[in-house]
Chains A and B, each alone.
Chain A
Amino acid sequence: MSTIALNASTAIVAIAIVLLIFLMKMVKTVPQGYNYTIERFRRYAYTIQPGLNIVPPLFHRVGVRMNMMEQVLDVPTQEIITRDNATVAVDGVAFYQVIDAPRAAYEVANLNSAIMNLLMTNIRTVMGSMDLDQLLSHRDEINTRLLTVVDAAAISWGIKITRVEIKDIVPPADLIASMGRQMKAEREKRAVILEAEGQRQSEILKAEGQKQSQVLEAEGRKEAAFRDAEARERSAQAEAAATLVVSEALSRGNVAALNYFIADKYVKAMQAIASAPNQKVVVLPMEATALIGSLAGIGEIAKATFGEAAVQARRGGSGVPHVDTRQS
């Protein structure tokens, strides 16, 4: 066939080729994690899901290939002035996910930059209404506030801001230094206070101990005094009892016995004085005659033995107390 004959076979081949092109155009395989919007005459018609899809090849085309996975958005560092006029550098990170592909595709142009600008302005707003100390200690609250505000704004774009996190808050260097100093001073103060507390406690404990020991000592003394008194009482009682016994013995017996004992003691005392090694001179500050006279006791015994008359006859006077033992 040197020339193309316009016959049935040519037509058939043409139809077949068109069909094959149709086939190529109508089979759309969407990868997992994406949704494609389909436009009919350049107007949004429907969304096709991941997997094998057949799209009518005429008048239909794929509009936007929308990523349905959660995406990370790095919020660049920006300078923020807090309520107490400290300038801090803040950066953050946000996560968002497209929930509604057609809205995200057609409601907003340039989704990423829209979210980014929304985030940056809201970070300024939220952080500008706080003090620096609050900023550093209330990160959770900041994140929650940001999330609520930004998410509410982004809802009409068919996306969900899942989280907003402030990564780093960097105050100026001199502020950091003074914060460090403040912290150090705080610790120092605590240490000093603790030391003083310890000293006070130890002083108190020492004084307590001293007091206790003094009290105990006094108690000991008091106890001892009581015992001493008791001992004195006891010895007095014993003395009394002994005296009682002696006087009872006297009343029952003879006084001459007593005289004998006294004489015995006198003689013993004299002997001790005389035999003392350092005494050569003995001064007797008493009537020696009295001592001799104490022999009257012996006289009494004799009188009792030999009769009164014999004794009376030889008697002058004596220094020894004369105990009259005559019974009437």
Chain B
Amino acid sequence: MMPDPSPVAVWGWFVVAALLMGAELAAPGAFMLWLGLAAAATGIVHLFVAMDWPYALLLFAVLGVAFAWLGRRLAARADADAADQPFLNRRAAALVGQAFTLAEPIVGGEGRIRIGDTVWHVSGADAPAGTRVRVMRIDGGRLVVE
């Protein structure tokens, strides 16, 4: 196989990159973006290193997977930073660490507390009504308290 120095192949990658990123803009799904980035990177590598198109394709695929991993890492960090609404759709998780007063006693490890106009079932050590309890973790739909 002869190396393909033709610029068509090289610039072709950039065209592909632009198309992929355009597709990502049109339909955001955080999936085309990584392929677009991979295509652009492949084009850049291609500028300096002459290679056959199969190798370029392989490079493109590997870079795509790598960028996806990297993107996942970055997204995770962004998620950790974005403490704007940490408990969105996680109502029970929002209660962990908070303390409440028992309206009814915990008997046999089972009880109920009223929180914000609804009733939560709790499990924990037996305690009389009026005890302050702290939510430790969630167990299914129950709150485990101490």
Contacts and interface: CB of A to CB of B under 8 A. Distances in A.
Given A9-B1, A155-B140, 9 more contacts: A9-B54, A13-B54, A18-B61, A50-B89, A99-B92, A100-B140, A151-B121, A155-B142, A156-B140
A51 B119 CA distance: 30
Contact of B61 (A20, A147, A154, A163): A20
A33 B120 CA distance: 21
Interface residues of B, number: 37
A52 B30 contact: yes
Given A23-B34, A151-B119, A16 B92 contact: no
- Top 4 nearest A-B pairs (CB, nearest first) are A19-B61, A9-B54, A16-B61, A52-B75
B119 A154 contact: no
Find the residue from A15, A23, A154, A158 having the highest chain B CB count within 10 A: A23
19 contacts: A9-B52, A9-B54, A10-B54, A12-B55, A12-B57, A17-B61, A20-B60, A23-B34, A23-B64, A23-B65, A24-B31, A29-B30, A33-B89, A51-B79, A54-B72, A99-B141, A100-B140, A157-B141, A160-B120
A20 B71 CA distance: 16
Contacts of A12: 54-55, 57-58
B12 to A, nearest CB: 15
A17 B61 CA distance: 7
B55 A32 contact: no
A50 B79 CA distance: 10
B40 interface: no
A157 B142 CA distance: 11
Interface in A98-129: 99-100, 103
A22 interface: yes
Interface residues of A, number: 44
Contacts of B79: 51
Given A23-B35, A27-B68, A16 B58 contact: yes
B30 A27 contact: yes
B89 A32 contact: yes
A247 interface: no
Contact of B89 (A16, A17, A69, A155): A69
A69 B89 CA distance: 6
Interface string A52-91: 1110000000000000110000000000000000000000
Interface of B: 1, 29-31, 34-35, 52, 54-55, 57-58, 60-62, 64-65, 68-69, 71-72, 75, 79, 88-92, 112, 117-121, 138, 140-142
A152 interface: yes
B141 A23 contact: no
Contacts of B30: 27, 29, 52
Contact of A29 (B29, B57, B62, B120): B29
A13 B60 CA distance: 11
Nearest to B112: A148
A52 B140 contact: no
Contacts of A54: 68-69, 72
Given A16-B60, A27-B31, A69-B89, A148 B140 contact: no
Nearest to A53: B72
A34 to B, nearest CB: 8
Nearest to A151: B119
A132 to B, nearest CB: 26
Residue with the highest number of chain A CB atoms closer than 10 Å, among B61, B64, B88, B117: B61
A16 B141 contact: no
A86 B135 CA distance: 45
Contact of B141 (A27, A155, A163): A155
Contacts of A23: 31, 34-35, 61, 64-65, 68
Nearest to B118: A162
B65 A152 contact: no
Given A50-B89, A97-B91, A29 B31 contact: yes
